[in-house]
Amino acid sequence: MTAPRRDFLIDDDRRLGERFVRDGFVIGDVEDREGLSWIRERVVEAAAAHLETDAPADPDAFLNHIGRHVSEATINDFRLSIIRRINALEDLRPSYFSLARRSIESLVGNELAMQRNVNLSIQMPDDQSSVLPLHADVWSGDSPFEMVLWIPLVDCFATKAMFLLPPDKNQEISRRFRDFDGKPVEALYEAVEPHLRFIDIRFGQFLLFNQNLMHGNRVNAETETRWSMNCRFKSVFSPYAEKRLGEFFEPITLRPASRIGMEYERPEGFDD
């Protein structure tokens, strides 16, 4: 007779969770390759529309070498134009969620709130204006219960990628955070630099990472441009910080029992 099961998690979920807690991130192949292709096509179309040119025959070369079409002075207006165009598409957020749906549900839960807009980052070679200094999202109004889904639209490596401070070192630095009071962010970066992990990730993969950990990027010293998208997910019933439900987040997978419970009203006069 088979012994009864005493673990509420299935083995795959437990192993994925252990990796995430240990490393602060997981990388996997996207769960919807057609959805990824559709998203990148829409991004390329939006970029070409802003530049008033035809969609390129080689999207990968177009994205990697966008500096042939856009200058450092105009890159942010270019990026914001693309963000507006793609977030106007009704299918963007469901398609984005589909890229890592099973993994998000395993790590976060199956009743989710999703950020209302998907972000886009573009970091051209040697562009000082696109540097995102060392930070943790919880320092600026995000809930510690959130997780970020980060999608590269091109292969990312070395300084073309983002970096992340591993959980053990993040905890160590956080315990002596007062040591950096009044000092510039660069002083904090220099303290953690030996421990940072630059995330090598290919187009066709997804990254889920713990945004409570310190992360950011440096000047892109490679010859190609980084294009990446990011969006936050959290359990819809977990605590919020400054970014609230209905303003920054929107429920996407409420189950019937939750919808019924949220709409329930006790009979009139029941408590009289």
Two structure tokens written together for 189: 């970066």
CB atoms within 10 A of CB 40: 20
Question: Would residue 156 count as lying in a domain?
Answer: yes
d(CA 40, CA 223): 21
**Which residue, among 164, 162, 160, has the nearest Cα to 230 in the 3D structure?**
162
Tell me what pLDDT residue 269 has. 78
Look-up of token digits 């990148």: 40
Question: Would residue 184 count as lying in a domain?
Answer: yes
d(CA 249, CA 233): 8
Tell me what pLDDT residue 27 has. 98
Question: Would residue 52 count as lying in a domain?
Answer: yes
pLDDT band at 8 (very low <50, low <70, confident <90, very high): confident
Question: Would residue 6 count as lying in a domain?
Answer: no
**Model's pTM, two decimal places?**
0.94
pLDDT tens for 103-145 read: 999 999 999 999 999 999 999 999 999 899 999 999 999 999 9
Two structure tokens written together for 18: 């252990």
Residue 110's CATH number = 2.60.120.620
Cβ partners under 8 Å of residue 236, min gap 6: 111, 112, 113, 245, 249, 251, 253, 254, 258
pLDDT tens for 166-194 read: 999 999 999 998 889 888 889 999 999 99
The amino acid sitting at 85 is R
CB atoms within 10 A of CB 78: 18
Q: Are 63 and 225 in contact (CB under 8 A)?
A: yes
Question: Would residue 240 count as lying in a domain?
Answer: no
Q: How far is CA 72 from the centre of its chain?
A: 24
Question: Would residue 242 count as lying in a domain?
Answer: no
Q: Are 232 and 170 in contact (CB under 8 A)?
A: no
Q: What is the DSSP letter of 159?
A: G
Q: Are 185 and 230 in contact (CB under 8 A)?
A: no
Pairing assessment for the beta strands 197-198 and 119-123 based on DSSP bridges: unpaired
Tell me what pLDDT residue 183 has. 86
CA atoms within 13 A on the CB side of 50: 21
pLDDT band at 59 (very low <50, low <70, confident <90, very high): very high
Question: Total domain count for the chain?
Answer: 1
**Which residue, among 22, 122, 19, has the nearest Cα to 79 in the 3D structure?**
122
pLDDT tens for 220-253 read: 999 999 999 999 999 999 999 999 999 999 999 9
pLDDT band at 70 (very low <50, low <70, confident <90, very high): very high
Question: Would residue 48 count as lying in a domain?
Answer: yes
Question: Would residue 243 count as lying in a domain?
Answer: no
Tell me what pLDDT residue 3 has. 66
Residue 80 clears pLDDT 80, i.e. is over it: yes
Two structure tokens written together for 48: 């070409």
Average pLDDT, the chain: 95
Q: For residue 201, give its domain range.
A: 11-235
Higher pLDDT pick, 8 / 76: 76
Tell me what pLDDT residue 179 has. 87
Greatest Cα-to-Cα distance within the chain, rounded to the nearest angstrom: 73
